[in-house]
Chains A and B, each alone.
Chain A
Amino acid sequence: MKVWSKRQQDVVVLAVQGRLDAATAPLFEEQVLPMISAGDKNFLLDLAGLDYISSAALRRLLFFAKRAEDQGGRVVLLSVQNHILEILDMAGFTQLFAIFADQDEALRSF
Chain B
Amino acid sequence: MPRKPSNLIYGVDENPGPIALVLMGLQHISLMSIAFIFPVIIIEAIGGNLEEAEGLIRMAMLATGIGTILQGINRGPVGSGYLCPLLNGPAFLSASLMAGKLGGLSLIFGMTAVAGVFEAFFSRLLSRMRAVFPAEVTGTIVTMVGIEVVPLSVRKFLGIDPTHSMPDSTAVLIAMITLGAMACFNVWGKGKLRLYSVLLGMIVGYAASAMAGLLSPDTFRVMMEAPFFALPAVGHYGFSFEWVLLVPFLVAALSSALKTMGDVTTCQKINDAQWKRPDMVNISGGVLACGISNILSGMLGALGQSVSSSNIGLSIATGATSRRIAYSTGIILILLAFFPKFASIFVIMPTPIMGASLIFAVSFMILAGLQIIMSRMIDARKTFVIGISIIFGLSVEFAPGLYRDVHPWIKPIFSSSLSLATICAVVLNLIFRIGIAKTTSLVLTPGENPSEDIDHFMEEQGRAWGARSEVIYKAKAAMIEFYEAAAESALTRKPVTMTARFDEFNLDVDMDYEGKPIELAASRPDARNLLTDPDAPLKLAGYMIRSLADHAAMESVAGRNRVHLHFNH
Contacts and interface: CB of A to CB of B under 8 A. Distances in A.
Query: Which of B476, B485, B530, B541 is most buried by chain A, counting CB atoms within 10 A of its CB?
Result: B530
A29 interface: no
Given A19-B455, A59-B537, A96-B528, A90 B487 contact: no
A22 B484 contact: yes
Contacts of B477: 52, 54, 87
Contact of B470 (A55, A56, A63, A83): A83
Interface in A3-56: 19, 21-24, 52, 54-56
A91 interface: yes
Nearest to A24: B451
A62 B527 contact: yes
B136 interface: no
B52 to A, nearest CB: 60
Nearest to A59: B530
Contacts of A93: 527
Contacts of A54: 451, 477, 480-481, 484
Contacts of B526: 92
A21 B450 CA distance: 10
Given A55-B544, A83-B473, A90-B548, A21 B480 contact: yes
Given A19-B455, A92-B527, A55 B487 contact: no
B488 interface: yes
A93 B548 CA distance: 16
Interface in B514-569: 524, 526-528, 530-531, 537, 540-541, 543-544, 547-548
B449 interface: yes
Given A23-B449, A23-B451, A56 B484 contact: yes
Interface string B470-486: 10010011001100110
B425 to A, nearest CB: 30
Nearest to B449: A23
A55 B455 CA distance: 16
Interface string A74-110: 0000000001000100111101100000000000000
B488 A56 contact: yes
Contacts of A91: 524, 527, 540, 544
Nearest to A20: B451
Query: Which of B476, B480, B543 is most buried by chain A, counting CB atoms within 10 A of its CB?
Result: B480
A2 to B, nearest CB: 15
A90 B543 CA distance: 9
B470 A87 contact: no
Given A22-B451, A55-B541, A87-B477, A66 B484 contact: no
Contacts of B473: 52, 83
A59 B531 contact: yes
Interface in B453-494: 455, 470, 473, 476-477, 480-481, 484-485, 487-488
Given A19-B451, A19-B455, A54-B484, A90 B544 contact: yes
B530 A62 contact: yes
B567 to A, nearest CB: 14
A52 B470 CA distance: 12
Nearest to B538: A55
A59 B470 CA distance: 24
Nearest to B547: A90
Contacts of A58: 527, 530, 540
Contacts of B455: 19, 52
A22 B531 contact: no
Nearest to A82: B470
A86 to B, nearest CB: 9
A92 B528 CA distance: 9
Nearest to A62: B530
Contact of A55 (B449, B528, B531, B540): B540
B547 A55 contact: no
A107 B485 CA distance: 35
A68 B531 CA distance: 15
Interface in B89-103: none
A23 to B, nearest CB: 4
Given A23-B449, A54-B477, A56-B488, A92 B541 contact: no
A18 to B, nearest CB: 10
B193 to A, nearest CB: 31
Contact of B531 (A23, A52, A63, A95): A63
Nearest to B526: A92
Contacts of B481: 54-55
Nearest to B470: A83
Contact of A87 (B530, B541, B544): B544
B531 A21 contact: no
B525 to A, nearest CB: 8
Question: When A and B form their complex, which 10 residue pairs have the shortest distance between CB atoms, in order from nearest?
Answer: A92-B527, A22-B484, A23-B449, A21-B451, A56-B484, A59-B530, A55-B540, A90-B547, A55-B541, A55-B544
Interface of A: 19, 21-24, 52, 54-56, 58-59, 62-63, 66, 83, 87, 90-93, 95-96
26 contacts: A19-B455, A21-B451, A21-B484, A22-B487, A23-B449, A54-B477, A54-B480, A54-B481, A55-B484, A55-B540, A56-B485, A56-B488, A58-B540, A62-B530, A62-B531, A63-B531, A66-B531, A83-B470, A83-B473, A90-B544, A91-B524, A91-B527, A92-B526, A93-B527, A95-B527, A96-B528
Given A52-B455, A62-B527, 20 more contacts: A19-B451, A21-B480, A22-B487, A23-B451, A52-B476, A54-B480, A54-B484, A55-B537, A56-B537, A58-B530, A58-B540, A62-B530, A62-B531, A63-B531, A66-B531, A83-B470, A87-B544, A90-B544, A90-B547, A91-B540
